[in-house]
Every structure is written in C-alpha cells, then in structure tokens.
Copies of this chain bind each other. A is one copy, B any other.
Amino acid sequence: MKDFRVNDVAARANVSVGTVSNVLNRPEMVAIATRERVEAVIAAMNYVPNERARQLRAGTSSMIGFVMLDAGNPFFMDVARGAENAASALGLTVLLGNSDDDASREDSYLEAFELQRVRGVLVSPTRDIGARVRSLRERRIPSILIGRAHSPAAASSVSVDDVAGGLLAAEHLIGLGRTRLSFVAGPLHIRQVTDRLAGAQSAVARSSAATLELFGATSLSIQAGRVIGRQIAGRRPRDRPDAIFAANDLLAIGILEAITLSEVPIRVPDDIAIVGYDDIEYARSAVVPITSIRQPSAEIGATAIRLLLEEASDLSLEPRDVTFQPCLIERASTVQGSA
C-alpha cells in the first residue's frame, strides 16, 4: 500500500541502491544472477521509480508540452497527432494544453511547463508571447511556434505560407468568375487570419473586376460562422457577396449551414461559392462539401518536434523558420459536380 523506494528494493534484494539503479538504467553492467534477483524483487514489490526524482537528478525531462490555440479544431489535433507520433518514436511524451484563444490560459500552461522544466514546448500562440518564450529560453527550454511568429527572432517556427493560401483561395474564386468576394475573419490578433486576408487582398488587387468585403467573426468557430451566415442571408440578394472565403473551415461550416438553411435558402455554389481553410475532415462532410486550403498538418507537428530536439541539444542554434506550402482542394462548394 505504500510507495516503495529504491532503498526498499535494495534492502529486500540484499544489494545496494546503486545496484538497483544500475539494473534499471544500465542492466548490462550488472551480473546476470544479481540482475535477475533484483528484477524479481522489483516485480514482486511492484516498484515504479519516481520520475520526478529521476529527472531532478538527471536534469532532463522526457515530456514535451504543446499549448494549442483550439483543441476543438481538428486541424490542431492533427498537428498534435503528428507531433505525438514523432515524439513517441523517440520515447518522449507530448502533453497537451488547450488555451482556447485565451491569453491567460495560454500563459498558465506555459508557466506550468516552465515550472516542470519540460524538454521543450510547442505553441500555437494566441498573440505575441515573446516574453514568455525568452523566459523559457533562460531555463534552457526551447520553444517552437506553430504558425508564424509575431516577434521574429524569439523562437523557431513551423508554419504554412498563409499569404499564399489566401492568394490561392481568392484566385480560385476569381477564376470562377466571381467578383463580389468577401473574407470572413476571425480575431485579428491571430496571425494566420491577417495573413490569409493579406493573400486574398493581393489577389483581388490584381483583378480589375473583383472587390473584397470584410466580415469580422468573433472567433474561429462554427457558432461564429452561423452568426455571419445569418447576417449575409439577411441581406437583399443583390447586396450579398457571390463568394465567401472563410478564415477557417469551422467558420465556413457555420456560414454554410446558416445560409443554406435560411428561410429563403441560398444555393451553394450557384448563388454563393465558399472556400474554407485547413481542410478538416468535417469540411468534406458538410451540407455541401467545402472547397478548402489544405495544410500538411501531421508533417507540421513532426517537423516541430524535430526542430525542438535539435535546439534542445544545441541551445546556441539560431531561430529558424520552416514554411510549408498549402494547396487547394476543390469540392462542391465552389465547383458544381465535384466530389
């Protein structure tokens, strides 16, 4: 009923604590007979070493923290899964924290990870977290940002070229002959949102006919999308945009739901075409399958782990930025008759 210590095991096996420790950590350097005896005692007592003490002594942890902007968004879970797979192959464990775009929650997770002296931290930041990142760095805890950094040189980052993604989306819509484009933004402190908007703006600027209207959603969620959708459906038909580019798929799903189920249904894509972002699985299963910008989520997670470990073993490394390219997945919300 009590928690045994290495002492107890040593006493019961008639060896010293050092030997027990060796059996656990360097079994090859202990005689076979001794080893088997100690192992038997360990099993009999159901002894489990105390990781906190071990890490205190070793000065190193096998945990990696990941603070997510929105764990409810499948995109981030896919990134997390990629990170987990890469980490567990190396015997490391990824612990997830969900900030829900709340700066204080984000900071409390980062603080908890800092107090724990984890091996490193991945963050998809809600806003500029340069200060905390520097503090972690002083503790020799590297951090990798998922998504482009606000303050450049603070930490390495793994991101997708969101400006290119925005460009892709808007060009696709313009290429389909749409002219009254709109961008549905989430909170503007999120870098991804402003970058995607910038991409869309530059595509529109290149076109002579197209215009871009901006809608501001309160968050990157289905619910917020519904609100915008109802707003659009409430307008007179000639005042509505003929194409919507939503800052992410959750928004797109909410918008789509609201406008197709409104009193006088709007046809998608005939009346309004919709493009989302992230290519989450639900986008494919929506009322009308949603055209979306795909990001290599699992690869992002795996790359982040790789960078993290490189920096953990060489703290003098300069921050690096790895950027992936997004691609467009066409579906029925923009192109009639496609999958």
Contact = CB atoms under 8 A, between A and B. Distances in A.
Interface of A: 1, 3, 46, 48-53, 55-56, 61-63, 71-72, 74, 77-78, 80-81, 84, 88, 93-98, 100, 105, 108-109, 112, 114-117, 135, 138-140, 222-223, 253-254, 256-257, 261, 281-282, 284-289
A97 B95 CA distance: 6
B116 A1 contact: no
Contact of A71 (B55, B56, B77): B77
B117 A93 contact: no
B72 A77 contact: yes
5 contacts: A1-B138, A52-B117, A93-B109, A95-B95, A285-B286
A260 to B, nearest CB: 10
Contacts of A55: 52
A51 to B, nearest CB: 3
B80 A71 contact: yes
Contacts of A97: 93-96
Contact of A63 (B112, B135, B287): B112
B98 A96 contact: yes
Given A98-B84, A222-B282, A254-B285, A140 B3 contact: yes
Nearest to A66: B96
B63 A80 contact: no
Contacts of A138: 1, 3, 46
**Which 5 A-B pairs give the minimum distances between C-beta atoms?**
A51-B115, A96-B96, A95-B95, A257-B285, A93-B112
Nearest to A115: B51
Contacts of A46: 135, 138
